[in-house]
């Protein structure tokens, strides 16, 4: 029987490229596509695919949130992250949320296909650059102030650093505006951030967002 796959990326052209690459491989078929975390969760429940290939940079709640929700629904879900983000911090967060593999979009196509095969065998997979980033981070000590943030605080930091207002973050995560403001205060205190712009550059340095994703805030 064919191995079924759910593609999650907010760019239709990118999804089309994934689909063509994947469906050229014998036994692989894309059964659904999603452009945000809510659709990913809904399509996973509807189609129960064998594997999810998911970008982290989604409108609203990030791919980390999508991974977490899918794994809460199905603890055996197999999810491969395919992202431009190559920082060790964000890769560790993806694995902690329940991802089984992490491949950077800078990798050759064969690395994504190799990761798919590896994860389908029940093993963990990483592209070479992600494995190198994690290894270098471990050698350097590995721990930063961001490790003291909760998963929810990291999610709020990532969305804020991506240019979303506190109100937009509250709506995306189904939280009250007061809760978001309180979390941002804790985040600033934990990270020693002077301004929201400083928060952005901390998040970029940790790989939570890429410079191209930063929409509204500039370097302090």
Per-residue model confidence as pLDDT tens digits over 112-136: 999 999 999 999 999 998 888 888 7
> Closest Cα to residue 51, out of 105, 101, 1, 107?
101
Tokens of 114: 């190799």
Same domain, 98 and 169: no
Domain total of the chain: 2
Rounded to 5°, the CA angle 74-19-2 comes to: 60
Average pLDDT, rounded, for the chain: 86
Same domain, 88 and 22: yes
Percent of the chain with pLDDT over 70: 89
Give the domain extent around 21: 3-139
Last residue of a domain, one of 101, 121, 139: 139
Same domain, 65 and 19: yes
d(CA 16, CA 6): 12
- Confirm whether 165 is domain-assigned: yes
| pLDDT band per the 50, 70, 90 thresholds, residue 210 | low
- Confirm whether 95 is domain-assigned: yes
Same domain, 36 and 98: yes
- Confirm whether 28 is domain-assigned: yes
Confidence check: pLDDT of 212 > 90: no
Same domain, 134 and 151: no
| pLDDT band per the 50, 70, 90 thresholds, residue 30 | very high
Crossing angle of helices 128-139 and 88-97, in 10° steps, is 100
Confidence check: pLDDT of 143 > 70: no
CATH of the domain at 176: 1.10.10.10
> Closest Cα to residue 161, out of 185, 186, 192, 184?
184
d(CA 114, CA 134): 19
Query: Which has more pLDDT, 93 or 41?
Result: 41
> Closest Cα to residue 82, out of 134, 139, 17, 138?
17
Same domain, 203 and 94: no
Same domain, 84 and 175: no
pLDDT of residue 20: 94
| Cβ-based neighbours of 64, under 8 Å, separated by 6 or more | 56, 90, 93, 94, 97, 151, 154, 155, 158
Last residue of a domain, one of 123, 139, 155: 139
pLDDT of residue 220: 39
Same domain, 36 and 63: yes
pLDDT of residue 31: 97
Segment among 36-45, 53-62, 79-88, 141-150 with least mean pLDDT: 141-150
| Cβ-based neighbours of 147, under 8 Å, separated by 6 or more | none
Q: Taking residues 147-155, report their average pLDDT.
A: 78
Confidence check: pLDDT of 202 > 60: yes
Q: φ, ψ for residue 83 (rounded to 5)?
A: -145, 155
| pLDDT band per the 50, 70, 90 thresholds, residue 200 | confident
Map 121-174 to HEC letters: CCCCEECHHHHHHHHHHHHCCCCCHHHHCCHHHHHHHHHHHCCCCHHHHHHHHC
Same domain, 119 and 167: no
- Secondary structure class of 8 (helix, strand, coil): strand
pLDDT of residue 155: 79
Same domain, 104 and 180: no
């Amino acid at each position: 029987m064919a191995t079924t796959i759910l593609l999650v990326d907010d760019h239709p052209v990118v999804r089309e490229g994934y689909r063509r690459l994947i469906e050229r491989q014998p036994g692989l078929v894309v059964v659904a596509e999603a452009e945000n975390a809510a659709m990913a969760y809904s399509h996973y429940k509807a189609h129960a695919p064998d594997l999810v290939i998911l970008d982290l940079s989604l409108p609203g709640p990030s791919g980390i949130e999508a991974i977490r929700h899918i794994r809460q629904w199905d603890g055996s879900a197999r999810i491969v992250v395919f992202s431009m983000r190559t920082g060790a911090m964000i890769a560790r967060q993806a694995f902690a949320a329940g991802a089984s593999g992490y491949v950077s979009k800078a990798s050759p196509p064969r690395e994504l296909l190799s990761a798919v095969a590896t994860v389908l065998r029940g093993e963990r997979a990483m592209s070479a650059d992600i494995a190198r980033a994690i290894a270098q981070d471990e050698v350097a000590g590995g721990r930063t102030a961001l490790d003291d943030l909760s998963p929810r605080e990291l999610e709020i930091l990532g969305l804020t650093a991506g240019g979303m207002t506190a109100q937009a973050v509250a709506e995306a995560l189904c939280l009250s505006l007061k809760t978001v403001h309180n979390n941002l205060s804790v985040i600033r205190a934990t990270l020693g951030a002077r301004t929201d712009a400083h928060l952005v550059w901390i998040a970029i340095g940790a790989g939570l967002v890429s410079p191209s994703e930063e929409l509204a805030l500039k370097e302090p």
